[in-house]
Amino acid sequence: MYQDFDPIKILQKYAPPETLVYNILIAHSMAVRDMALKIAAKNRHLAPDTELLALAAMLHDIGITQTSAPDIGCFGHHPYISHGYLGREILEREGLPEEVALFAERHTGTGIPREEIISLNLPLPHRDMMPVTVEEKMLCYADKFFSKSGNSLSKPKKLSKIYENLSKYGEDNLRRFDAMIGMFGMYYVYGEESRGKVADVK
């Protein structure tokens, strides 16, 4: 079923080839896809659907094309934090199954609970935007290791940088990320040679 959709063609419809945002989207999405599949391979006991995971990873950030983030070539009218639910809307319009579209909405940060959206008055619909399925959690986890800016879009960020970024959004984000580490493991992200060498990845 998922092979009926070409993620590159879908991305090109919203981010024309040769534009900055297209190049960033492709590089970032491929890095996240490869990491998500690596996480899945290391956690086969959870029986993840890798075909679904690969397609969703390539399309999870399509919503950034509708936001205002000029530094990465996005000239839309919505705040960047809205890219998750905007991506879901795009994918639903393109006829993607709901289980694919939901990845876009649920990957931001470590997920955004409804009560946080309301309490912080975020420009988002008032509903839970938390990863639920094991595949959604794998994608959300994989996404935290990569940036869409900087010199290397394909090199995993150091743990210290991930924690620094997440800490800006409260302790709950840090706890949820720690829970993902506990669920999926971490050292293989940086290579098996890093096992036990916490200083190397922090």
Structure pTM? 0.92
In a domain, 202, yes or no: no
In a domain, 182, yes or no: no
Which amino acid is residue 150, in one-letter code? Answer: G
In a domain, 194, yes or no: no
| Total count of domains within the chain | 1
- Distance of alpha carbon 166 from alpha carbon 94, whole angstroms: 31
Worst-scoring range by mean pLDDT, 49-58, 64-73, 166-175? 166-175
In a domain, 39, yes or no: yes
pLDDT, tens digit, for every residue of 69-103? 999 999 999 999 999 999 999 999 999 999 999 99
- pLDDT at residue 200 greater than cutoff 50: no
In a domain, 186, yes or no: no
- List of E strands, the chain: 68-69, 74-75
**Mean pLDDT computed over every residue of the chain:** 93
pLDDT, tens digit, for every residue of 17-37? 999 999 999 999 999 999 999
pLDDT, tens digit, for every residue of 140-166? 999 999 999 867 788 999 999 999 999
Nearest CA among 92, 85, 73 for reference residue 10: 92
pLDDT confidence band for 62 (50 / 70 / 90): very high
CB 169 within 8 A of CB 110: no
**In the prediction, which pLDDT does 35 show?**
98
For residues 47-69, average pLDDT: 98
Domain with residue 64: its CATH number is: 1.10.3210
Count CB-CB contacts under 10 A for residue 35: 22
**In the prediction, which pLDDT does 192 show?**
59
In a domain, 181, yes or no: no
In a domain, 167, yes or no: no
pLDDT confidence band for 186 (50 / 70 / 90): very high
SS3 33: helix
CB 124 within 8 A of CB 85: yes
In a domain, 60, yes or no: yes
Provide the residue range defining the domain that includes 78. Answer: 2-156
